[in-house]
Amino acid sequence: MCGISGIVGFKNIAMPLLNSIRHLEYRGYDSCGVAIMSNNSIVVRKNIGSVDEVNEREKLSEPDGKIGIAHTRWATHGGVTKENTHPHLSCEGDFALVHNGIISNYSEIKKELIHGGHRFNSETDTEVIVHLIEKYFVLSKDAEKAFIRALKRLEGTYAIAMITTHEKDKIFCAKRESPLVIGLGDEINYLGSDFNAFIDYTKNAVVLDDDEYAVVSRDHYFIKKIISGEVIRKRITEINWDSDMAKKGGYPHYMLKEIYEQPQCIVNAMQVDKALIKKLSDMIMKSRHVYLIGAGTTYYVSLMSEYHFSSIAGVFTPAINSDEFKNLAYIDKDTLIIAVSQSGETYDTLNALKFAKGKGAKTAAIVNVMGSSIARLVDHTIMQGSGPEICVISTKAALSQMAILLLVALEMAVNNKRISVRNKNEIEKQISHLPELIQKVLNEKSGFIHTIANKFSHINNWLYLGRGKYYPIALESSLKMKEVAYVHAEGMPAGFLKHGTIALIDEKLYSVIFMPPRSDEELYRLTAGSAEEIKARKGFTLGFHFGEKGEGEKLFSEEIILPKAHSIIAPFLELVVAQLFAYFTAVALKRNIDKPRSLAKSVTVA
């Protein structure tokens, strides 16, 4: 949702602090700011706009100081204005604070503080925290005590970083639900919402857990429980990313880079420890109720896995939107929740897991970020190893998650004696061809997909139609088009079209049809039937198919032909084509590809 960072060292930290929010900008980019201790007072520079735009105007790295905090904002409370931008200052300017999360009881605290004479400059929930700390400091004259006392008043979620003129060499920070990690350097320490904040400088990190606070100086830190004050000792996490992985590597956008990283991601997915795959399979087989949960893209990954688990393993595991989970799922101690999450921080998914754990359910997750809240919460974690996914639009992480859960389906199928080990090995051999086939699509089809995207970039409304396991692919593909190109696309089961939506078909409404290979005979026939229904009503169809050149001419208005593929991996290839189609459409429409409007990489609010 937002990105927070901090640095405390023995020399000027202004430039690395600016870099830290450049690396966190994908988490929110409505506005940004820094607070730096300079000549014994706190200098705040902030404004609305991207980091580079604000830096242009405010010279964020100009103040000379050895300690500072910074923030990139995705607005939740209060509009996108300079006043609402973090950091926020206390009345006397002796405290500065940044925050990621939502303080649910901020209104009552604000009233109390205003009554006590505090003057507010913003509409944000965050500003009440810094004034509350100021209020308690006046009483205790002890910054740590005031910090803790304020934290105990807060309801809701937070990752907070604060500096004060009363303890000029310390950053105070605390965490509840929103992520926060400490980066450990040599005579310099860092703070960030995730590793990207400081990955250029250190790979040694300590991850805070809920309801813990830390006081960080340049050569020392301690972590305590907020309520009890108990000192917590933590293992140092070595980050397995390098900064090059997190940079664009010559691509125009992270989205394209990450689409092109997919062959390697599938290789990594196939190399996930088989014991982890087997353990998840065993957990599923031992549970009476099993749900797959995710949000947005990861809900569609869950839906794809619902089809794989059912058709391959004969195990029906409903996929439920994390935000709807509480309204829908039956949970008892014989229930297993499998969460899918790239960031491992999505509020709705985290909340669903906590709700299920509270009812005695077992939990598991497929995640991409080490040390993330979901990874630390569940009973069993599979790290998908896709590398940092910087673009707000998820591509490689989603494809990798689908592949890993497909391996779980195969494991269960053997367990259920629906296939032999030999069959499983044969299917896995087919899956092992996926990286080279994705590479073939990227090498041989990108140019044509780019041409098609340019040709139809003026179209404002699309239907995305698929049957069976191509239905979740249609849904995920339509989400790509919406979120990166801002073009409306509605994904639906192809068979659903004739039950009403077909009334929309005319020359203005275009459709993408996700065709299975002919080896999926019935699915092919039925999906072709849907294309015919549209054609009969003079609707335009763009067919993704595995046939010969021209084969689609009878069926589609335009066609994108994919290389021949086994039916088990065909849907993955069609998703890659759809990712590129959305990407090139967004390029044609000059969208902000890696940071689309109103989006954030990790949605850590309800």
Check binding of 223 to ligand AGP (CB under 6 A): no
Q: Which residue has the tokens 């813990």?
A: 212
Check binding of 343 to ligand AGP (CB under 6 A): yes
∠ at Cα 377 (372, 378), nearest 5°?
110
Distances 122 to 2, 53, 58, 341, 542 between C-alpha atoms, Å: 17, 21, 19, 33, 49
> Is 175 a catalytic site residue?
no
Distance CA 175, CA 223 (A): 11
CB of 470 to ligand AGP, least distance (A): 19
CB of 196 to ligand AGP, least distance (A): 14
Check binding of 76 to ligand AGP (CB under 6 A): no
Check binding of 178 to ligand AGP (CB under 6 A): no
Check binding of 356 to ligand AGP (CB under 6 A): no
Check binding of 341 to ligand AGP (CB under 6 A): yes
Q: How much is the CA Rg of the chain, to the nearest whole Å? A: 25
The one among 20, 76, 196, 297 contacting ligand AGP by CB under 6 A: 297
Check binding of 32 to ligand AGP (CB under 6 A): no
Check binding of 335 to ligand AGP (CB under 6 A): no
Could you tell me the two tokens for 152? 């105990």
Check binding of 298 to ligand AGP (CB under 6 A): yes
2, 32, 265, 391: the catalytic one is 2
The secondary element (H helix, E strand) that includes residue 249 is none
Distance CA 463, CA 514 (A): 11
Map the footprint of ligand AGP across residues 459-488, applying CB under 6 A.
Answer: 483
Residue 604 contacts residue 101 (beta carbons within 8 Å): yes
> Is 601 a catalytic site residue?
yes
Distances 117 to 90, 131, 570 between C-alpha atoms, Å: 12, 10, 65
| Residue 92 exposed, middle or buried by CB count within 10 Å (0-12, 13-18, 19+) | exposed
Q: Can you name the residues that pair with 41 across neighbouring β-strands?
A: 38
Residue 344 contacts residue 322 (beta carbons within 8 Å): no
In terms of Cα–Cα distance, which of 342, 341, 298 is closest to 320? 298
Residue number, 87 or 294, with CB nearest to ligand AGP:
294
Check binding of 321 to ligand AGP (CB under 6 A): no
Check binding of 599 to ligand AGP (CB under 6 A): yes
Map the footprint of ligand AGP across residues 485-504, applying CB under 6 A.
Answer: none
Map the footprint of ligand AGP across residues 381-400, applying CB under 6 A.
Answer: 392-394
Comparing every residue's Cβ against ligand AGP, the nearest one is 296
Tally the C-alpha atoms within 13 A of residue 306's C-alpha that lie toward its C-beta. Answer: 23
Check binding of 512 to ligand AGP (CB under 6 A): no
Query: Prior bond to 87 cis, omega within 30?
Result: yes
Could you tell me the two tokens for 121? 């400059």
46, 362, 480, 601: the catalytic one is 601
Check binding of 296 to ligand AGP (CB under 6 A): yes
The one among 24, 154, 534, 603 contacting ligand AGP by CB under 6 A: 603
Binding-residue total with ligand AGP (CB under 6 A): 16
Task: Write out the residues near ligand AGP by the rule CB under 6 A.
Answer: 295-298, 341-343, 346, 349, 392-394, 483, 599, 602-603
Residues annotated catalytic, as ranges: 2, 601
